[in-house]
Structure 1
Amino acid sequence: MLIKRLITGMTLLLSLGSPVSQAVEKIIIANGGTADSLQGQTARRFSEQLQARLGDQYQVEYYSDAKLGDEKDLLDKLRNGQIQLATISSIMSAEVPEFALFDMPFLVRDRQHLKLIDSEIIMTDLAAAARRHGLHIISTWENGFRQISNNSRPIRSPEDLKGLRIRTPQSEWRSLMFASWGAKPTQMPFSHLFVALQTGEVDGEENPLSNINGARLQNVQKFLSISNHVYSPIWLTASDSSWQQLPAAVQAAITEVAADAQRWSFAEGARQDTRLLKSLGNAGVQINHVDRITFIAASKAVYAQFARQVKGGDALIERVMDLAGH
């Protein structure tokens, strides 16, 4: 009789959803960009493949469009354990000074150059610097080459930027860059940008084509100037303490799926550049190319500040330039 009562009680507990039946670990992945941007597409692909790799023991949840906050918020949530993984781009340099390397204008030549930088510098020197700040860099994905859009005029030289209020990410280096070119940089989260352009709070912005298209900025911008002034990676990031607590098999799964996502994002970025440029032109945006020589000449102050402010900055820049010849 006692055994029967015990079995009945256990059956009831299981039917109500006991802790044993719900012992599923959760991995939350967050992205501050739009779902349609390349970073959003890559993060979604990664999340789906990671769920398939981990199976039923883990529940992978993915949030895009800054639903869990902008990049600054996401870093805070990583550190306090509210989320496990996040994609972090331009704001990384505010956390780890060495990452300002990717705010140096016209430094990254192309994606092949970026792959060499990733293996020789990011995943060695910069990843070590990130760990000193409590962050673990898992993989480098593409955000893209950045272009300039505005509602006033085509941008051909720095002279054309004078007086224009240009939204920049929350990065002192991007602000310094545009100030050096004569603009009035205005830092704000990406999630606020469409309305700021629509209302005239800012005149323009700078972003990869996939971000511009993903946020439908072509609906509130008249001119697009192709500059490729910065290549912005985006880093799949965890807090170092949370990463160390993950089982080795889960760490391996995340790392391997992230490497596949990297290969896809670089290839897809190249495909999208041509397609999106045509699409944005068809949407009525007037497109031109900047005079890179005049912009490079106006960028000396940014490099000088990096060399002064970031320990070993000159050496990092030289190593990146050396890799461009490989």
Structure 2
Amino acid sequence: MMRLAKILTGTALVCVLASPALADKMTLKFGHVGKPGSLFETSVNAFAACSNKALGDAAEVQVFGSSQLGKDKELLQKLKLGQVHFSLPSSVMSSVADEFGVFEMPYIIQNRDHMRRVQAELMESTFQKAAQAKGYRIIGLFENGFRNITNNTRPIDKPEDLAGVKLRTPNGAWRVKMFKLYGANPTPMAFSEVFTALQTKVIDGQENPYAQIWSAKFQEVQKYLSITGHVYTPAYVLVSEKHFAKLPQNVQDALTQCGRETQDFVYEEAARLETDLLQKLKDGGIQVNTADKAAFVEASKPIYDEFATSVDGGKDLIDTVLRLAEGS
């Protein structure tokens, strides 16, 4: 944390002291949907600070959060057009390529050490390959985190408690399938629209990691927080394969290196927030319960079966991810 603070301070000082001659250096835009105070914001700022220190006068990474440059699907399109240079998609990647849907399988990722093993074995051979086939490249792996359910109807202990609950989900087919299986009424919606939809009772609830719940202030419009931890969602530092390849090699190398280096900081910060923010949510008055994980795991079997039979190589992918959990 001290190292990061020094980098951030140094980066700010460089910006203040920069001479007019540096005004023409390459600007690289990083758009994301995270709100102020979110893990996304902290993660992207850390990546930008690392990159700007490494790039010096060659280029500058500028950050635009809170969906300023577009929602997730818009940012994916803008990457292709070269209008933004980086985005930080999470669940939406399951709609880009089927392989990313494995992270939508409930409870398949046990913890961050498990995720590191999956990354080491499958990132280049499976997920990078799938991203490149769609015109993208992953230059860093961060996280959105372990997701939990908030709503205004009732505490959620077992899947049947979700019956009839109108629940916002990200735009991903597998999340919708999962919550339909549990009996909820899943409603895909852009993250930037969720607070108003909860406030006006268009939807009853949503599911997100604590960092997203807290930074978006969902606790102000929700009565219940149920700790389900039903899905762990990675987040991907994504670029356009075509446009990234046009950058000078030294710029590509610096950005890729910072993508790798920032991951440790992101994981440490995410783990800290899981503890700190849960306590803040409790202190804020939202009613918290721990759900029956075993009941959710049992109810999730059909979605594993569907992924295994409907996605090319799906069964092998599931088996490999589960095997890599053995060291958890």
Task: Say yes or no: TM over 0.5.
Answer: yes
Per-residue Cα deviation, 1:56-81 (whole angstroms, up to 9, x for no partner): 23132110000011110000000000
Q: Which runs of 5+ in 2 are unaligned?
A: 1-20
Match of 1:174 in 2: 175
Determine the structure 2 residue equivalent to 1:131: 132
* DSSP 3-state at the match of 1:56: coil
Q: Are 2:153 and 1:157 equivalent residues in the alignment?
A: no
Distance 1:164 1:220 in 2: 15
Structure 1 position 129, deviation (Å): 1.1
Greater Cα shift, 47-56 or 198-207: 47-56
SS at match of 1:61: strand
Equivalent position of 1:308 in the other structure: 309
**RMSD across aligned C-alpha pairs, in angstroms?**
1.3
Moved more, 123-132 or 155-164: 123-132
Provide the residue aligned with 1:15 in structure 2: none
Please tell me the residue identity of whatever aligns with 1:226. I
Q: What does residue 319 of structure 1 align with?
A: 320
Paired position in structure 2 for 1:54: 55
Cα distance in 1 between the residues matched to 2:58 and 2:325:
44
Q: Deviations 1:281-324 (Å, cap 9, x if unpaired)?
A: 00001111111111111112211221122110000011011111
Q: Report the Cα distance in structure 2 between the residues aligned to 1:161 and 1:251, rounded to whole angstroms.
A: 46
CA distance in 1, matches of 2:289, 2:124: 36
The equivalent residue for 2:188 is 187
What SS is found at the alignment partner of 2:56?
A: helix
> Which secondary structure state, in structure 1, belongs to the residue aligned with residue 91 of structure 2?
coil
Cα contact 1:31–1:65 (8 A) shared by 2: yes
- Residue 225 of structure 1 is matched in structure 2 by 226
Counterpart of 2:71? Answer: 70
Q: 1:279-298 maps to which residues of 2 (within 5 A)?
A: 279-298=280-299
| Counterpart residue number, 1:276 | 277
Q: Which runs of 5+ in 1 are unaligned?
A: 1-19
Distance 2:213 2:292 in 1: 21
1:324 match: secondary structure: helix
Whether 1:116 and 2:109 are equivalent positions in the alignment is no
- Report the count of equivalent residues: 308
Choose 301-310 or 72-81, whichever is displaced more: 301-310
Greater alpha carbon shift after TM alignment, 220-229 vs 33-42:
33-42
Helix, strand or coil at the partner of 1:255? helix
Corresponding residue SS for 1:205? strand
| Structure 2 Cα separation of the partners of residues 310 and 165 of structure 1 | 28
Q: TM-score, normalised by structure 1?
A: 0.92
AA partner of residue 264 (structure 1): F
Describe the superposition over 1:205-234 as per-residue Cα deviations: whole angstroms up to 9, x where unpaired: 000000000101110111000011000110
Structure 1 102/21 Cα, relative in aligned 2: closer, same or farther at 3 Å?
closer
1:149-171 Cα distance to aligned partner (Å, 9 max, x none): 10111100011000000000001
Distance (whole Å) between structure 2 residues aligned to residue 23 and residue 66 of structure 1: 26
Partner of 2:40: 39
Distance in 1 between the 2:46 and 2:222 partners? Answer: 30
- The 1-side partners of 2:66 and 2:208 are apart by 16
Distance 1:324 1:232 in 2: 16
**Post-superposition shift, 1:21?**
7.4
- Decide whether the 8 Å contact of 1:123 with 1:137 is kept in 2: no
* Runs of 4+, deviation exceeding 4 Å: none
- TM-score of the two chains, using structure 2 as the length reference: 0.91
SS in 2 for 1:264: helix
SS at match of 2:57: helix
Per the alignment, do residues 21 and 321 of structure 1 end up closer, same or farther by CA in structure 2, a change over 3 Å counting?
Answer: closer
Instruction: Give the whole-Å Cα distance in 1 for the aligned partners of 2:189 and 2:326.
Output: 36
Distance between the aligned counterparts of 2:86 and 2:60, measured in 1?
13
Secondary structure of 2:312's aligned partner: coil
Matching residue's letter, 2:161:
D
